Amino acid sequence: MPGDRVRYAQEALFCERVLAKSGTNVLLEALGNAPSVETFTHYPAGDVFDPESGAHWYYHSHPRPSGEAEHGHFHCFVRLEGAEGPVHHLVALGVDPFGRLLRLFTVNQWVTGDAWIEAGRAVALLPRFDVQLARPDYLVNRWLTAVVALYEGEIAGLIQAREGVIARHRPEAGGDPREDRALDVTSEAGVDLVATARALGVLPPE
């Protein structure tokens, strides 16, 4: 509903404003006190899991080509059967070095090794991504929750597109397309939180 999107945009922006007033941002808080950022390492250590909702996330980065704006991404999952149960990947949120949202994307199964489910079931899990925990940072947890809710329609479309890409993909060496290392990102969309907030009337026009 439009009113819900307004609320989620307001919450995401509120989290960013409070963090900025404190001299930090969602990326820095996710990294914690790490002395350096190691590619492919999960931040925070041990990931974040809300046992009540089943929401699960971690941040990591890959080696970046020169000039690439994205620093890394938050992988967002849901675990319906507890911390040791199957994990279902929903979406990744790419951010720049200042923690600003750049894109939403889905990945092939081999990337996260999650328990694959068909698109309709995955879309139905989106409202379950609700992280209500004080650690590692309450505002980061609420920012992630708000962003996933704000862009739920777009994410649902990306999940549907992912299923189509996998169905059509034919690995050169044969075998399961979900295990083909040549296919990692299966769908993506650029997003701008400020532009979205302006379109919703949360922020004044430029």
Query: Which tens digits make up the pLDDT trace of 71-109?
Result: 999 999 999 999 899 999 999 999 999 999 999 999 999
Instruction: Give the tens place of pLDDT for each residue, 114-152.
Output: 999 999 999 999 999 999 999 999 999 999 999 999 999
Q: Is residue 158 part of a domain?
A: yes
Q: Is residue 82 part of a domain?
A: yes
Range of the domain at 63: 2-197
Q: Is residue 206 part of a domain?
A: no
SS (H, E, C) 151-188: CHHHHHHHHHHHHHHHHHCCCCCCCCHHHCCCCCEEEE
Q: Is residue 205 part of a domain?
A: no
The confidence band for 1, taking pLDDT boundaries of 50, 70 and 90, is low
Q: Is residue 188 part of a domain?
A: yes
Q: Is residue 203 part of a domain?
A: no
Q: Is residue 204 part of a domain?
A: no
Distance CA 178, CA 162 (A): 11
Instruction: Give the tens place of pLDDT for each residue, 167-203.
Output: 999 998 889 999 999 999 999 999 999 999 999 999 9
What's the total number of domains in the chain? 1
